[in-house]
Amino acid sequence: MSRGGDTRFKKGQSGNPAGRPKKRRPNVSAFDIVFDKVLTVNEGGKPRELTVEEGLQLQTYQAALGGSKMAIRQVLKMIEKRETALAKRNKPATRQISTVHEQSAHNATEALAILGMIETEPEPSLGSDAEPRWKVTTWAAQAGLSRPGKRQLEAKDISDIKFFTKGSERLRWPRGSDA
């Protein structure tokens, strides 16, 4: 074959002057085409029009009633799908719940006692009839003292901590404190 002037295609001229052929069908799947068809079904002697999808669902339902396990599973899936769609469409009414906040020192005291952060200690100077005084347990006070980034304690802070802590003599004070 020669590459001379006599070639099948002329220079600058398309080998396909008509261009690419047009698509014959739109972007529709075979299932869409089949599902768009309408069937006429006789129910109880009366004609009724159904889509193919409705007809398949009806057949699946009848097979499930006949005992087909696959059909029963499919019907259960259809029911679940329908229930989900109905739940989305008909959202339940929200109930208003009102809350009441009661602030009481007794609530906090009870919570701290349950957690073991405070204990009672009778005040010997007031006699046995006096109400016991709540004191912070040693471990809870130590946890507060051991917090990183805690500022230097002043003499007043140290005396208050000693007064309100049960077993304050066992506390380890942070460096720089005059305890």
- Reading the block at residue 136, the tokens are 């912070």
Write down the pLDDT at residue 74: 94
Write down the pLDDT at residue 4: 57
Domain boundaries, the chain: 32-89, 108-170
Write down the pLDDT at residue 121: 79
Write down the pLDDT at residue 100: 83
DSSP for 43-84? ETTEEEEEEHHHHHHHHHHHHHHTT-HHHHHHHHHHHHHHHH
Q: In the chain, pLDDT over 70 holds for what percent of residues?
A: 86
Write down the pLDDT at residue 126: 58
Which residues in the chain come in under a pLDDT of 50?
A: none
* Confidence (pTM): 0.38
CB 108 within 8 A of CB 141: no
Write down the pLDDT at residue 42: 85
